Every structure is written in C-alpha cells, then in structure tokens.
C-alpha cells in the first residue's frame, strides 16, 4: 500500500507577514512549521507555493525515485549568473552527459591524490597561528579551504589567489543583497545593482580562469583542471573552454565554502565540548604517533570521523534544498502543481528526535555505539542524495578529516567566554559574524618508531 502523508497548511509563513518571519529566522521558521504541521506542510510566499517535506521516505522519493519529475529551484538558477551551466545549475540531458564525464575524477581513489596537498595547506595555516592569539576561525577556514581548492584545481603555481578571493567576496555580497526578504519580491522585475555586481565579478573571474585554461591546454599538469581538459565522451569530444570554465567555477565556489563551514562548526563544537576534544586528540596522537596524517590514516580515525558526521548533522553547510515541480504531480498523496517548490531541510530533519535521540546535543558517539545503525536513509543527508548528490563529497570529507588531524597535533582552540555563535542562513549556513577562539600551541607528541 502506497504511503500517504497528511498535509497541513501553515498560515504563519504565508503572505507579507510570513515572508518577514521567514526572512528574520529561516531555521526556526521551518523547524516550527514541521513541529506544528507535520511532515508535509504547505506555505505560500505570494504566487509561489511551497511544501516542506520532513519525512525521510518522501525526501528520498524527491531526490532519488522521483527526481525526474522535478527541476532545480529558482534560487539555484540564480547562481547561474556566476556559475554558468556547471553541474550545480545544469539540467536534463546536458547535465547527465557532463556528470557522467566528470564523476570518475571525484571518486575516492582519484581524490586520494590530493591528500598531501590538503595537509600542506593545513601546515601553511598552522604557521600563521601564535600562542594566545585570538583568531576568527571562520575567516581562517575560508582562507584555508580556498587555498586547498586553488592548489588542487589549478596547481601549485596558481598566482591569482587575492584577485579570485576579492571577486568571490563581491559575488557573495551580491547574492546576500539579492536574497534579502523584500528583494525577493522585485528582483525578477527590477534590474537591481546586485546583478551588476555579479556580472562584474564574473567578468573578472573569467579573465583569470580563461587565461589559466589556455595555459593548461598548452602545458597540462597533475591538477584537477588539467584532468577536466583531458576528459572526452564516448564520441571522443572534450569540453570547450567555456564549459570547463563553468565546471571549474562550480568546483571552486561550492568546493571551498561548504568545506570551510564544516571546519568552522567542527572547531566550534570541539572547543565547546572539551571531553570530545580530548578524545579526538588522544585518538590522533595514538594513531599517528607524531607523523603527518595521510590518506591511509583517514578511515582509521573512527572518533574523528564521528565528530565530523555529528558536526554535519548539527550544522549542515547546506541547510535546505528545493526542487521545482516540472509538471503537475504528487508526492505521497500531496498535490504538487507545476512550479511548486518541494523543500527538504537538513537543519530540520537532522534535529528531529524521532531519528536522533536528544538531537540538540553534540554526541559523536551516537555514530559509534549503534544508535544510528537503523537510521532511515534520508534522515541524514548533508550532501543531498540521488543522481545529483554532491559530486565533491569524498573530497570534502577527506579534506576536513586530514585538516582536523593535522590541527589537533599542533594546536588546541579554546572557547572565548564572551563569544556567541549566531547563524546567517542564505545560500549556505554561514555564521553571522566572526567565530573566535584562543590559540594554544601544543608540544608535538613524541614520534614513536613504527612497529
């Protein structure tokens, strides 16, 4: 018998008042709607109908079994102003062909080649830390993750780091401006200045990227960009410069921000939970014996991996995702007219007590003691799922694990008593301001001879 969800209307998120409430507190708004109205809650934002699905089976159908009935949502399409038609924004057969072409380059075996670069970038970051200094983890992790993706994508000779970082900041401010609550109403009809800023950022980035692409075609290296340039389909056709540009920009933009956020929130949780922090440090000292971490170490660091999983549960960098109904359809008995946005929120589902006992608590051990063994498949989906699951998930998990391991060997971060974590969910789940810690340098653990 086909499962049918009870659907309820959520008036608190409808009309101008609802739009204002959602803009002020998107995370709390969606959580309260789920708590009050269940696993299929309808809310309207003027002419746009939205349905929040919080049932794992419905989310699985949306992202996997019924994915062909939906397209990317309107917000994701706006990213095309900067990303072009890369994997994140592309649709249909063109997306399928590109995904098939690129997927092998992001499999664990291929990603492993970049482990040494990830650790080297972590060591460069460590060289800038000073005992007792107060530093902003968010800014530092953004810089570190940008360094990792720049070196792995473009190669060690990449020289335009500052220019790219400036352009990405311009683009970020432009998107934040576009997605302010009141501008949602007019941005499709009024040529806002933010669109001009996005075009300026794109033009400047294109000048950098197309020059690098030209150079790599003439003299390829071992970097990811050179791999993309070498890819050919079954007919022997490769990607044009513009296609490579779009994919490189997608990897560059999506690849550094989400990883930086995962690192920032993991460090925050460790600094505010000294018991878990001590256990992580003990594991790394025991397993690595003072040597630098490498790719082969990552699966052995079971508690470290549990910390990362729990951090992604509590603070998923992608806090919600949406699909738009391509035609009149339904999902588990819920009518979805063409154009309806079907939403699934990692923030909401990851904090649901039905799936995670005491969901507000940071408990990495829940991933080790059997508590999550029978978890429904889409009760936990930090990287999405289905055919459009994040292509860079293996890269991101390896990067976070290796950087955490190298940091734990050399420094410890102490929470600042007055520091408070406030969140700013827009495209991703960013902190509203600096995330400050006090740096404490560690004596390197004595290296023991390998047995």
Asked if the structure places residue 448 within a domain, the reply is: no
Band (pLDDT 50/70/90 cuts) for residue 191 is: low
pTM of the complete model: 0.91
Give pLDDT tens digits for 139-163: 999 999 989 988 888 886 666 667 7
Token look-up 């530092």 returns 140
For residue range 267-313, list pLDDT tens digits in order. Answer: 999 999 999 999 999 999 999 999 999 999 999 999 999 999 999 99
Between 11 and 176, the higher pLDDT residue:
11
Please check whether residue 451 lies inside any domain of the structure: no
Output the pLDDT for position 193. 65
Question: What pLDDT, on a 0 to 100 scale, did the predictor assign at position 181?
Answer: 47
pLDDT tens-place string over residues 362-401:
999 999 999 999 999 999 999 999 988 888 999 999 999 9
Angle between helices 241-271 and 393-410 (to 10 degrees): 40
Question: CA 13 to CA 33: how far, in whole Å?
Answer: 8
Domain that holds residue 108: 8-441
Domains of the chain: total = 1
Domain assignment of residue 315, yes or no: yes
Is residue 53 classed as helix, strand or coil in its secondary structure?
A: strand
Contact (Cβ atoms closer than 8 angstroms) between residue 265 and residue 315: yes
Residue 158 Rama label (left phi>0; alpha psi -120 to 50; beta): beta
Structural tokens at position 404: 């955490």
Helices marked H in 272-329:
274-288, 302-314
Residue 439 three-state SS: strand
**Sequence-separated contacts (24+) of 20-27 with Cβ below 8 Å:** 20/181, 22/181, 23/180, 23/181, 23/182, 24/181, 26/319, 26/320, 26/425, 27/319, 27/347, 27/423, 27/425
DSSP labels for 368-425?
TSSTTTT--GGG--TT--GGGS-TTHHHHHHHHHHHHHHHHHHEEEEEPTT----EEE
In Å, how far are 328, 377, 380 from 374, measured between CA atoms?
Answer: 34, 9, 12
Confirm whether 266 is domain-assigned.
Answer: yes
Residue 2 included in any domain:
no
Stronger pLDDT, 433 or 368, i.e. the higher one: 368
Query: Which CATH number covers residue 311?
Result: 1.10.630.10
Mean predicted lDDT score pLDDT of the chain: 87
Residue count (the chain): 451
8-9 and 40-45 beta bridge pairing: parallel
Query: What's the pLDDT at 256?
Result: 85
DSSP symbol at 49? E
| Residue of 253 and 60 predicted with greater confidence | 60
What is the distance between the alpha carbons of residues 8 and 218, in angstroms, rounded to a whole number? Answer: 59
Locate 16 and state its tokens: 């101008």
Report which listed range, 1-15, 234-248, 325-339, is most confident: 325-339
Residue 446 lies in a domain: no
Q: Is the residue at 450 inside a domain? A: no
């Amino acid at each position: 018998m086909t499962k049918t969800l009870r659907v309820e209307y959520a008036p608190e998120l409808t009309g101008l008042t609802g739009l204002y409430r959602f803009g002020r507190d998107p995370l709390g708004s969606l959580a309260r709607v789920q708590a009050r109205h269940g696993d299929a809650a309808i809310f309207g934002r003027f002419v746009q109908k939205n349905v929040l699905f919080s049932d794992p089976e419905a989310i699985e159908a949306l992202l996997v079994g019924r994915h062909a009935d939906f397209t990317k949502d309107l917000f994701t399409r706006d990213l095309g102003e900067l990303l072009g038609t890369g994997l994140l924004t592309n649709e249909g057969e063109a997306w399928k062909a590109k995904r098939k072409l690129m997927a092998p380059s992001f499999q664990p075996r291929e990603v492993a080649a970049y482990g040494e670069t990830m650790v080297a970038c972590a060591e460069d970051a460590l060289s800038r830390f000073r005992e007792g200094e107060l530093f902003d983890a968010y800014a530092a992790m953004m810089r570190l993750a940008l360094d990792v993706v720049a070196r792995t994508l473009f190669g060690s000779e990449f020289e335009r780091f500052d220019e790219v970082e400036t352009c990405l900041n311009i683009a970020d401010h432009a998107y934040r401006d576009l997605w302010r609550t009141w501008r949602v109403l007019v941005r499709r009809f009024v040529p806002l200045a933010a669109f001009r800023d996005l075009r300026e950022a794109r033009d400047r980035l294109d000048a950098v990227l197309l020059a690098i692409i030209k150079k790599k075609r003439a003299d390829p290296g071992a970097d990811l960009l050179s791999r993309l340039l070498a890819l050919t389909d079954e007919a022997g056709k490769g990607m044009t410069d513009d296609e490579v540009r779009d994919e490189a920009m997608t990897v560059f933009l999506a690849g550094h921000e989400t990883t930086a956020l995962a690192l920032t929130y993991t460090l925050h949780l460790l600094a505010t939970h000294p018991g878990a922090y001590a256990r992580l440090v003990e594991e790394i000292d025991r397993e690595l014996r003072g040597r630098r971490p490498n790719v082969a170490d990552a699966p052995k660091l079971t508690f470290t991996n549990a910390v990362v999983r729990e951090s992604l549960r509590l603070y998923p960098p992608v806090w919600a995702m949406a699909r738009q109904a391509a035609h009149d359809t339904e999902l588990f008995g819920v009518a979805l007219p063409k154009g309806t946005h079907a939403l699934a929120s990692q923030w909401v589902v990851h904090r649901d007590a039905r799936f995670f006992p005491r969901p507000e608590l940071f408990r990495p051990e829940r991933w080790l003691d059997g508590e999550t063994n029978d978890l429904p498949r889409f009760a936990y989906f930090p990287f999405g799922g289905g055919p459009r699951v994040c292509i860079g998930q293996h890269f991101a998990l390896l990067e976070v694990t290796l950087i955490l391991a190298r940091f734990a060997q050399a420094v410890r971060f102490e929470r600042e008593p007055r520091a408070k974590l406030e969140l700013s969910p827009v495209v991703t789940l960013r902190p509203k301001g600096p995330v400050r810690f006090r740096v404490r340098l560690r004596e390197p653990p004595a290296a023991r001879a390998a047995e």
